[in-house]
């Protein structure tokens, strides 16, 4: 009777431990992201991250190892949430798509810039920032598919590249942080850049008209 009761309790205790471990990991990653996103890498102290997550420093090290490994894990955790929060859906409403993009940049832009500043020092972060660039290109290609129309080959790639650049985080940085434009002005500028990116055929025709003797 006792053995039967014990065997029934064991799966529940295993599930409870797994859930507790997952919750601990989530708290640690969330705390780590808050610290790394708001402070220089060198100033982040693992004991402070552990304290915020309500665990010991030993638990943090057991789960994530070194500071560099925790940094990479926190960035990966954020990236997964970012991808889920910015799904790619084709739209003809360029200004609405840019507004949604700015929602993310306004909330997380400076944190991502801080992460990017570490990509040359931490190989694992460089791998993730490269993946982030690829994700952004895929997002732009899907979201602004109506603007690409029936373009093919080099013409399509050149127009897509212009759109990817126009919607890049660094353009947001230049407009909002460096030039200190109001958000509405910055959004309008990016939307105009996206809408104004002409197909290569149009560029070719324009070039022909400006050639000597044309």
pLDDT, tens digit, 9 for 90 and up, residues 146-161: 999 888 999 999 999 9
The 10 Å CB-count burial string (b at 16+, else e) for 7-31 is eeeeeeeeeeeeeeeeebbebbbbb
Q: From CA 174, how far away is CA 166, in angstroms rounded?
A: 11
Q: What is the mean pLDDT of residues 185-194?
A: 97
Which has more confidence, 48 or 41? 48
Q: What is the pTM of this model?
A: 0.74
Instruction: Say if residues 125 and 118 touch (Cβ distance below 8 Å).
Output: yes
- pLDDT for 196: 87
- The superfamily (CATH) of domain 1-65 is Tetracycline Repressor, domain 2 (1.10.357.10)
Q: Where are the chain's structural domains?
A: 1-65, 86-214
- pLDDT for 78: 86
Instruction: Count Cα atoms within 13 angstroms, Cβ side, for 53.
Output: 30
Q: How confident is the model at residue 207 (pLDDT cuts 50, 70, 90)?
A: very low
């Amino acid at each position: 009777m006792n053995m039967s009761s014990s065997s029934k309790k064991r799966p529940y205790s295993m599930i409870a431990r797994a859930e507790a471990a997952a919750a601990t990991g989530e708290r640690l990653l969330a705390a780590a992201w808050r610290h790394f996103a708001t402070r220089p890498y060198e100033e982040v102290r693992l004991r402070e991250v552990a304290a915020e997550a309500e665990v010991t420093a030993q638990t943090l090290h057991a789960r994530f190892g070194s500071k560099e490994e925790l940094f990479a894990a926190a960035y990966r955790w954020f990236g997964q949430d970012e991808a889920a929060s910015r799904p790619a859906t084709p739209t003809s409403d360029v200004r609405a798509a840019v507004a949604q993009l700015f929602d993310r940049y306004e909330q997380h832009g400076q944190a991502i810039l801080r992460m990017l500043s570490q990509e040359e020092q931490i190989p694992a972060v460089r791998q993730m920032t490269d993946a982030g660039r690829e994700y952004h290109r895929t997002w732009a290609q899907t979201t602004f598919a109506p603007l690409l129309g029936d373009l093919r080959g080099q013409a399509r790639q050149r127009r897509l590249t212009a759109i990817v650049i126009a919607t890049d985080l660094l353009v947001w940085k230049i407009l909002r942080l460096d030039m200190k434009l109001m958000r509405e002005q910055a959004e309008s500028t990016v939307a105009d850049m996206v809408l104004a990116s002409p197909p290569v055929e149009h560029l070719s025709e324009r070039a022909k008209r400006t050639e000597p003797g044309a």
